[in-house]
Amino acid sequence: MKRLDKDEALSLYSNAPLGELCERAQKARFAHVPGRRVSYQIDRNVNYTNVCLSGCKFCNFHCRPDEPEKAYTLTFEDYLPKIAELRALGGDQLLLQGGLHPRYGIDFYETLFRRLKEVDPDLKLNALGPPEIAHIARLSRMTYREVLVRLRDAGLDTLPGAGAEILADRVRRFLSPAKPSAQQWLDVMREAHALGMSTTATMVYGHIETLAERIDHLLALRALQDDRPAGAPGFRAFICWPMQLTGTALARMAAEGRLPEGISLPGEPRRWLPDEEFLRTIAIARLVLDNVDHIQASWLTVGLPTGLRALSAGADDMGSIMIEENVVSSAGSRHTLDEMPGQTGHDGLPGQDEGFRGQDEGLRGNDYGAGCPEDNPDAGAHTTGKGSLADPAGAHSSLADPAGARNLRAAIISAGFTPWLRDQQYNAR
């Protein structure tokens, strides 16, 4: 398949009929991920602090260092019940994210990671993101590479693609004035890839950016993935979602007419309803990112029905069941896995009876390998694990089947799918 350039990608994204765009993306999906199965994961998103200097105008969760009545940092003891519950529910990973804390340099994170691994050596740490790495490097007067090596040695397993939003400095200077630049974000990931670390890439759309800036974002990710060393995984997956704006400073500024000249919300007139915009974005990502194996349908901000429809628009992974989430929910996201989708689409959107039937769905680990053998029809079967906080004798996941996982499996099975489990590096669990 011929690689898309910017003009071709922008034209397809903007003008192609939705069905045609999704069909092309689905062909690309099966070229990347042969076999008709879809994965998901059980992990826990833990926000270790809410103190942050970045000043993001779209975030309701974090607070400034001078707001002691709002600020918190988890104690080590706070992690223990969270890990125990995660293990009891069949999970094996913490997604650790916080903010740009003015006092937390390399020593804070090294100590935290080592202590967590001492308590549960098999626990996977998918932690921080390029903004935090850049911030730690500045505070500790280290290079990005030095920070990553020390954190890896302390227990960091994989690096999430947090804080990318849109990789355009025009956007970043206004939305997140204290976050690293687009180039700094890419430079951190370049170093991680050079070290052989597994990472993910993200995009948060639907605010002040233009469609052309979304395409530029995808092309920047593709170029960085092209540059990874031979044999390095680089970006294992791409995840996108619409920005949640309820109650945010950005929404207030727009409502009160206080946006500066050259900034508008949205960045250009809306062309599509939200569900179609999500499906189009998933599809064009699959087509542009021809060197990234997996495209995730992030259901948390769009709802499970739309997340499932993305499986016919190029996505092959349903992400996490989200045992815990604090950030996007603070800005208006209220979707849960209690939502059970119908069997067909609506308003002309692809439905579960349009390209879904027969696509296997599977619980995955973070390395995107299968958690259950493909010929095992029992979606709830897990292999016996080593001892953990939840079960010192072992087999911590053998009986676990959280309601969220059951509901996700039920929704997908009702459309003709079969579940399996992956970890953060998309290897088998």
pLDDT digit string (tens) for 121-168? 999 999 999 999 999 999 999 999 999 999 999 999 999 999 999 999
Sequence-ordered alpha helix ranges (H) in 33-155: 76-88, 106-119, 130-140, 144-154
CA-closest candidate to residue 204, choices 135, 263, 278:
278
Q: Using DSSP, state whether 215 is helix, strand or coil.
A: helix
pTM of the model: 0.85
pLDDT digit string (tens) for 308-345? 899 999 999 988 876 764 544 444 445 444 444 443 34
CA angle in degrees (0–180, nearest 5) for 179-335-364: 80
Provide the edge-to-edge strand list for the sheet that holds 124-127. Answer: 44-47, 93-97, 124-127, 158-159, 198-205, 234-242, 294-297, 317-320, 37-41, 360-363
CB burial of 197-210 (b: ≥16 within 10 Å; e: otherwise) equals: bbbbbbbbbbbbbb
Which residue's entry shows tokens 């290897």? 427
Q: What is the CA radius of gyration of the chain?
A: 21
pLDDT digit string (tens) for 371-404? 332 222 222 222 222 222 332 222 223 233 456 7
Q: How far apart are CA 90 and CA 397, in angstroms?
A: 4
- Domains plus CATH for the chain? 6-413 (3.20.20.70)
pLDDT digit string (tens) for 169-182? 999 999 999 999 99
